[in-house]
Amino acid sequence: MDDLIIGMAGSGGDGIVSAGESLIGAAAKEGYFAILTKSFGSQIRGGESSCRLRLATTPVLNPGGALDVAVALNWEDFLKFGGELPVNGDTVVIYEEKTKVAPTALPLGDVQPAVVLCVPMEAMAMKSAGTLLAKNNVVLGLLAGWFGLAQESILAGIRKKFARKGEAVLQGNERAFAAGLEYAAQHPISPDYRFAPAARGVAGGKRVIADGNELCAQAALFAGCKFFGGYPITPATEIMQHLQRDIWKHGGSLLQAEDEIAGIGAAVGASFAGKKSMTATSGPGFSLKAEMLGLASVTELPLVCVNVQRGGPSTGMPTKREQSDLFAAVFSAHGDSVRPVLAPVSVADMFPMTVEAFNIAEQYQTPVILLSDQELAQRKEVIAPVDTSGLRIIDRLAPNAAELEHYTRFQFTSSGISPLSHPGMAGGNYLAAGIEHNEHGAPTASGEMHAQMNDKRLNKLQPLHDRRDLFVTVGDADATLGLISWGSVAGIALESLELARAEGLKVRLLIPKLIYPVAEQVYAEFFANLARCLVVEQSHQGQLHRLIRMWVDTPKVFTALAKSGANPIAPVDIVTALRAMAGAPHPLSRHAHTDFLNPL
């Protein structure tokens, strides 16, 4: 096997996520490519937890579909994840003997797994290590033994992890891992399930493991962020945590405020003071920030606001992925204001897109919304080190000496962008208030001036409509069947494109990273030869599908494949929909890898 998807679930404290992190670390050392996603119940403590790890000898773009290996420490918790851990007739199921479920009576409905392995994992942990806390290392031993997974690297990771906890704890966990290996050797399965060795050096160079929140924070520092104001909220908190650790080293500062409104208020104030500023939140917090985003719009102050989307509305499902905040990002502004909305499409893409968010904010003196989501934010990927050589940094337009002689903050210019001063700049004082104003910042109730200022604030963003570099187009240029997807679902769409093309379907895929303002001409060019088009997204309403219809003339058949959060979209789902649109029945391949350079 050269592509292996492992899903594991148990109760909080079982070490399931820790086992997944050990596996991805070992896989990276061995030279494999991997994506690790984590999912939890919404409880503050305890509850169910799971992870799914996709390992491959070549690059992967998404967590994949049905599991090749399912590990259930207890069935109650495993079943809570439903479609997040799908099992089919090709799956190897490993479960805890203590559950007293017969191998012929698994609670999987009509699904009959290929192999069922009932293992006394808890008893093995107690016998080898004297504690149930070691059963995750028993699981690692079983997986390493049955599937040939990076045995030495996993053991090295265990030794590194437990070295500081004393010799007795370390040896106990080593014995637990060895017990899993021994059990696998005594109960062999078909060698067809052995995982292929990694092609060391072929894909080249050093690799790192990172998640989206971490890269977002590091990109903000690279872009020159000097202030972060925010409030903890799942699944965005880690951005603040990473910045808290490092922003001081770059001459910046961070405020964990008393609430979401105070956090963005401080960030707007820091931008007024001349500092590149940022805040981060998720759905409920984003709703609270709407008024302050309006203040940044009318005062024309740069600001980056990251919204790590989760299931909603209200508290919703804070630990699950969804793409349902698109309408909120685009339309929650009061008055006639437009805020650019950007969306990264992978963990690696989080870095350049965060830098781009700062660049657009600074260049156009506007708040920018960066739409991430729970999966991109918290999933770990094995990636190449970030190459910053091609990234540029843009700073806000400052007034020159002549402009400061009679400084006019909101001066009407051909571009709509006016020089921006800050307190302490000689001659640069001005009034920055939320009320409508004239060129000098003085309050006005003139309808004519209000219309002119609306023109200024909207027209300055017009060049974004031509940013074709913020769109990815791949596939068959002469295709009449189109596919559009965005954010974390883009990697799934890209794999489905290859599956569809392998069946003989001609398909063209568009992935927008600039979601708003809508680039009408880019979409018009994409739709030019299409008779049918499918938009794939993780929202119940199909929000991007509806947004595009508002602005662009679409093909005659223009439909959406949309699912609420925690109902994963698999590549096979997309191919099935494409095949139905094209009227072409074909068998599906099991997995696919792109035969072109990864455009994401």
Output the DSSP codes for 124-161: HHHHHHSSGGGHHHHHHHHHHHHH---HHHHHHHHHHH
Predicted confidence at residue 207, as pLDDT, reads 84
What is the architecture of the domain spanning 3-193? 3-Layer(aba) Sandwich (3.40)
Same fold: 3-193 with 468-582:
no
Backbone angles phi, psi at 512, to 5 degrees: -80, 130
- CATH code of the region 468-582: 3.40.50.920
- Long-range contacts of the stretch 108-111 (C-beta < 8 A, 24+): 111/87
Low-confidence ranges of the chain (pLDDT < 50): 202-203, 586-597
**Domain residue extents for the chain:** 3-193, 209-383, 397-466, 468-582
Predicted confidence at residue 12, as pLDDT, reads 83
pTM exceeding the 0.85 threshold for the entire prediction = yes
- CATH code of the region 209-383: 3.40.50.970
Picking from 460, 471, 600, 459, the residue whose alpha carbon sits closest to that of residue 527 is 471
Q: What is the DSSP letter of 378?
A: H
How far is the C-alpha of 542 from the C-alpha of 539, rounded, in Å?
5
| C-alpha count within 13 angstroms, C-beta hemisphere, residue 494 | 26
Predicted confidence at residue 202, as pLDDT, reads 43
Q: Which amino acid is at 464?
A: L
Predicted confidence at residue 437, as pLDDT, reads 97
